[in-house]
Amino acid sequence: MSARTKARKRALDMLYQADLRGESLAAIVNAEAKRAASEPDRAASWLYAREIVDGVSDHQDEIDELIMSYAQGWTLERMPHIDRALLRMASWEIVFNSEVPTPVAIDEAVELAKEYSTDDSGRFVNGVLGRVADHSRD
């Protein structure tokens, strides 16, 4: 498993925790940073996970607006917490991180949805992110 895949799982965990618990991302990141300091062999995954979470935090309003625009018939509040976190994470990669190819961002999010969410989440995440990607190409 690549360092970026591990980082995405770590970022997903932080985004999910903050959303589910209603805590600030800053508090979750600080707690995770303390844990990461004791795991120097995982430094590469920590750095990219932190970049993802910081990026989502910095652009959350814009990201949420994109998701709401393209999640036809779904409000953010109606989505499972894990799907919402995945959509935020992958949308940031698609729109704001030019180092990650769009198909990679979508594929990684879909695989995580299949692993951690509902039976229908993979298709849902794929559909929303496909529309986000189309928007970002405009």
pLDDT digits over 41-81, tens only?
777 788 899 999 999 999 999 999 999 999 988 999 999 99
Q: Flag residues of the chain having pLDDT under 70.
A: 138
Q: How many alpha carbons fall within 13 Å on the CB side of residue 111?
A: 11
DSSP assignment letter at 100: S
Query: Please, what are the domains in the chain?
Result: 3-137 (1.10.940.10)
Interhelix angle 81-96/102-116, rounded to 10 degrees, is 170
pTM of the model: 0.93
Q: For residue 93, which of 124, 31, 125, 136 has the smallest C-alpha distance? A: 136
Angstrom distance (rounded) from CA 6 to CA 41 = 12
Residue type, 61: D
Q: How far is CA 12 from CA 8, 62, 106, in A?
A: 6, 18, 14
Collapse the DSSP code of 1 into the 3-class scheme (helix H, G, I; strand E, B; otherwise coil) and give the result.
coil
